Amino acid sequence: MANNEKLIKIVRDNIRSYADFPKPGIIFRDIFSVLKVPEAFKILQELLVQRVKLKAPDAVIGLESRGFLLGPIIALQLGLPFVPIRKKGKLPGKIKQLSYTIEYGEDTFEIQTDGLQKGQNVVLVDDLLATGGSLRAACTLVNQLGAKVVECLVVMELKDLNGQENIPVPVHSIVQF
Protein backbone atom coordinates (compact mmCIF):
# COMPACT_ATOMS: atom_id res chain seq x y z
CA MET A 1 0.00 0.00 0.00
CA ALA A 2 2.80 2.41 0.82
CA ASN A 3 4.25 1.78 -2.64
CA ASN A 4 0.91 2.70 -4.27
CA GLU A 5 0.84 5.91 -2.26
CA LYS A 6 4.27 6.85 -3.65
CA LEU A 7 3.05 6.10 -7.18
CA ILE A 8 -0.12 8.11 -6.69
CA LYS A 9 1.98 11.03 -5.43
CA ILE A 10 4.00 10.98 -8.66
CA VAL A 11 0.78 11.17 -10.67
CA ARG A 12 -0.64 13.92 -8.45
CA ASP A 13 2.57 15.94 -8.63
CA ASN A 14 2.32 15.96 -12.43
CA ILE A 15 -1.26 17.26 -12.60
CA ARG A 16 -1.18 20.95 -13.46
CA SER A 17 -3.82 23.32 -12.19
CA TYR A 18 -5.06 26.40 -14.05
CA ALA A 19 -6.96 29.09 -12.16
CA ASP A 20 -10.00 30.75 -13.74
CA PHE A 21 -10.37 28.25 -16.60
CA PRO A 22 -12.73 27.79 -18.38
CA LYS A 23 -14.36 30.60 -16.40
CA PRO A 24 -13.57 32.72 -13.34
CA GLY A 25 -13.58 30.84 -10.05
CA ILE A 26 -12.84 27.42 -11.60
CA ILE A 27 -9.55 25.60 -11.01
CA PHE A 28 -8.99 23.35 -14.02
CA ARG A 29 -7.05 20.13 -13.29
CA ASP A 30 -5.16 19.06 -16.42
CA ILE A 31 -4.59 15.36 -17.15
CA PHE A 32 -2.54 16.23 -20.24
CA SER A 33 0.35 17.37 -18.05
CA VAL A 34 0.61 13.78 -16.73
CA LEU A 35 0.70 12.41 -20.28
CA LYS A 36 3.67 14.65 -21.08
CA VAL A 37 5.82 12.85 -18.50
CA PRO A 38 6.33 9.24 -19.65
CA GLU A 39 7.18 7.95 -16.16
CA ALA A 40 4.04 9.50 -14.65
CA PHE A 41 1.87 8.32 -17.57
CA LYS A 42 3.21 4.76 -17.20
CA ILE A 43 2.51 4.82 -13.45
CA LEU A 44 -1.02 6.11 -14.08
CA GLN A 45 -1.59 3.35 -16.62
CA GLU A 46 -0.41 0.70 -14.16
CA LEU A 47 -2.64 2.05 -11.37
CA LEU A 48 -5.69 2.08 -13.66
CA VAL A 49 -5.06 -1.39 -15.08
CA GLN A 50 -4.48 -2.78 -11.58
CA ARG A 51 -7.83 -1.35 -10.41
CA VAL A 52 -9.84 -2.56 -13.42
CA LYS A 53 -8.30 -6.02 -13.16
CA LEU A 54 -9.68 -6.28 -9.59
CA LYS A 55 -13.21 -5.66 -10.91
CA ALA A 56 -12.95 -8.36 -13.65
CA PRO A 57 -15.29 -6.62 -16.11
CA ASP A 58 -16.38 -7.89 -19.51
CA ALA A 59 -15.66 -4.52 -21.17
CA VAL A 60 -14.15 -1.09 -20.54
CA ILE A 61 -16.12 2.01 -21.46
CA GLY A 62 -14.45 5.38 -21.98
CA LEU A 63 -16.29 8.69 -21.84
CA GLU A 64 -15.57 11.34 -24.43
CA SER A 65 -13.05 12.69 -24.62
CA ARG A 66 -10.35 12.00 -22.09
CA GLY A 67 -11.75 8.57 -21.27
CA PHE A 68 -10.70 7.73 -24.84
CA LEU A 69 -7.05 8.27 -23.88
CA LEU A 70 -7.15 5.86 -20.96
CA GLY A 71 -9.89 3.32 -21.66
CA PRO A 72 -8.39 1.70 -24.77
CA ILE A 73 -5.01 1.28 -23.06
CA ILE A 74 -6.65 -0.49 -20.12
CA ALA A 75 -8.85 -2.64 -22.35
CA LEU A 76 -5.96 -3.67 -24.59
CA GLN A 77 -3.71 -4.56 -21.68
CA LEU A 78 -6.46 -6.73 -20.13
CA GLY A 79 -7.67 -8.24 -23.42
CA LEU A 80 -11.12 -6.65 -23.11
CA PRO A 81 -13.34 -4.82 -25.60
CA PHE A 82 -13.37 -1.03 -25.48
CA VAL A 83 -16.71 0.74 -25.97
CA PRO A 84 -16.93 4.52 -26.39
CA ILE A 85 -19.62 6.81 -25.06
CA ARG A 86 -19.58 9.90 -27.23
CA LYS A 87 -21.19 13.30 -27.54
CA LYS A 88 -24.29 13.59 -29.74
CA GLY A 89 -23.86 13.00 -33.47
CA LYS A 90 -20.43 11.33 -33.36
CA LEU A 91 -21.34 7.61 -33.59
CA PRO A 92 -22.66 5.76 -36.64
CA GLY A 93 -25.26 2.99 -36.58
CA LYS A 94 -28.09 2.44 -34.15
CA ILE A 95 -27.51 4.44 -30.99
CA LYS A 96 -29.11 5.12 -27.64
CA GLN A 97 -28.83 8.68 -26.33
CA LEU A 98 -29.41 10.55 -23.10
CA SER A 99 -29.32 14.27 -22.32
CA TYR A 100 -27.93 15.35 -18.95
CA THR A 101 -26.91 18.41 -16.96
CA ILE A 102 -23.25 19.31 -16.50
CA GLU A 103 -21.45 22.05 -14.59
CA TYR A 104 -21.72 24.51 -17.48
CA GLY A 105 -25.07 23.58 -19.06
CA GLU A 106 -26.55 20.53 -20.79
CA ASP A 107 -25.09 17.85 -23.04
CA THR A 108 -26.05 14.55 -24.69
CA PHE A 109 -24.22 11.22 -24.61
CA GLU A 110 -24.65 8.37 -27.09
CA ILE A 111 -23.63 4.72 -27.18
CA GLN A 112 -23.98 2.22 -30.01
CA THR A 113 -26.69 -0.28 -29.12
CA ASP A 114 -24.56 -3.21 -30.28
CA GLY A 115 -21.60 -2.09 -28.15
CA LEU A 116 -22.66 -4.13 -25.11
CA GLN A 117 -24.57 -7.31 -24.48
CA LYS A 118 -27.21 -7.80 -21.81
CA GLY A 119 -25.72 -8.98 -18.56
CA GLN A 120 -22.19 -7.74 -19.23
CA ASN A 121 -20.28 -6.11 -16.38
CA VAL A 122 -18.37 -2.97 -17.31
CA VAL A 123 -16.07 -0.35 -15.80
CA LEU A 124 -16.54 3.28 -16.87
CA VAL A 125 -13.32 5.30 -17.23
CA ASP A 126 -12.94 9.07 -17.31
CA ASP A 127 -10.37 11.64 -16.25
CA LEU A 128 -12.40 13.67 -13.75
CA LEU A 129 -15.31 13.44 -11.37
CA ALA A 130 -16.76 16.84 -10.56
CA THR A 131 -20.54 16.99 -10.00
CA GLY A 132 -21.14 13.51 -11.42
CA GLY A 133 -23.51 14.45 -14.25
CA SER A 134 -21.63 12.78 -17.08
CA LEU A 135 -20.84 9.59 -15.15
CA ARG A 136 -24.45 9.30 -13.97
CA ALA A 137 -25.67 9.69 -17.56
CA ALA A 138 -23.19 7.07 -18.75
CA CYS A 139 -24.36 4.63 -16.05
CA THR A 140 -27.96 5.17 -17.16
CA LEU A 141 -27.09 4.48 -20.82
CA VAL A 142 -25.26 1.28 -19.90
CA ASN A 143 -28.22 0.13 -17.79
CA GLN A 144 -30.64 0.87 -20.64
CA LEU A 145 -28.66 -1.60 -22.78
CA GLY A 146 -29.02 -4.26 -20.08
CA ALA A 147 -25.40 -4.19 -18.91
CA LYS A 148 -24.17 -3.36 -15.41
CA VAL A 149 -21.59 -0.80 -14.31
CA VAL A 150 -19.51 -2.40 -11.56
CA GLU A 151 -17.43 0.73 -10.98
CA CYS A 152 -16.67 4.20 -12.28
CA LEU A 153 -12.93 4.81 -12.36
CA VAL A 154 -11.54 8.33 -12.58
CA VAL A 155 -8.06 9.76 -12.40
CA MET A 156 -9.09 12.85 -10.41
CA GLU A 157 -11.97 13.66 -8.10
CA LEU A 158 -12.98 17.10 -6.88
CA LYS A 159 -14.19 16.02 -3.41
CA ASP A 160 -15.80 19.36 -2.47
CA LEU A 161 -18.36 18.95 -5.28
CA ASN A 162 -19.67 15.64 -3.81
CA GLY A 163 -20.01 14.02 -7.23
CA GLN A 164 -20.02 10.50 -5.80
CA GLU A 165 -23.38 11.23 -4.20
CA ASN A 166 -24.89 11.57 -7.69
CA ILE A 167 -23.58 8.27 -9.06
CA PRO A 168 -25.54 5.05 -8.44
CA VAL A 169 -22.50 2.74 -8.45
CA PRO A 170 -19.15 2.62 -6.63
CA VAL A 171 -16.59 5.21 -7.70
CA HIS A 172 -12.83 4.92 -7.36
CA SER A 173 -10.53 7.90 -7.88
CA ILE A 174 -6.75 7.73 -8.10
CA VAL A 175 -6.17 11.33 -6.93
CA GLN A 176 -8.47 13.57 -4.90
CA PHE A 177 -8.51 17.36 -4.71
Closest CA to 45 of 68, 64, 70, 67: 70
104 vs 78, residue with greater confidence: 78
Range 3-15 average pLDDT: 96
The answer to whether residue 39 is catalytic is no
The whole-angstrom separation of Cα 86 and Cα 83 is: 10
Alpha helices (H) in 58-104, listed in sequence order: 67-78
Q: What pLDDT digit, counting tens, does each position of 13-22 carry?
A: 999 999 999 8
pLDDT, tens digit (0-9, with 9 covering 90-100), for 88-132: 999 999 999 999 987 667 899 999 999 999 999 999 999 999 999
Residue range(s) defining the domain that contains residue 85: 2-176
Q: Tell me the pLDDT tens digit for each residue of 137-176.
A: 999 999 999 999 999 999 999 999 999 999 999 999 999 9
Does pLDDT of 43 surpass 80? yes
103 as an active site residue: the answer is yes
Residue 86 maps to which CATH number? Answer: 3.40.50.2020
pLDDT of residue 1 exceeding 60:
no
Does pLDDT of 85 surpass 70? yes
Q: Which of 66, 110, 136, 157 is catalytic?
A: 66
- Whether the bond between 22 and the residue before it is cis, its omega within 30 degrees of 0, is yes
pLDDT, tens digit, 9 for 90 and up, residues 22-36: 889 999 999 999 999
The Cα 160–Cα 2 span in angstroms is 25
The reported pLDDT for the residue numbered 103 is 66
Secondary element (H or E) of residue 153: strand 148-157
Based on the structure, what is the number of domains in the chain?
Answer: 1
- Whether residue 126 contacts residue 98, with contact meaning beta carbons closer than 8 Å, is answered with no
Phi, psi of 146 (to 5 degrees): 85, 10
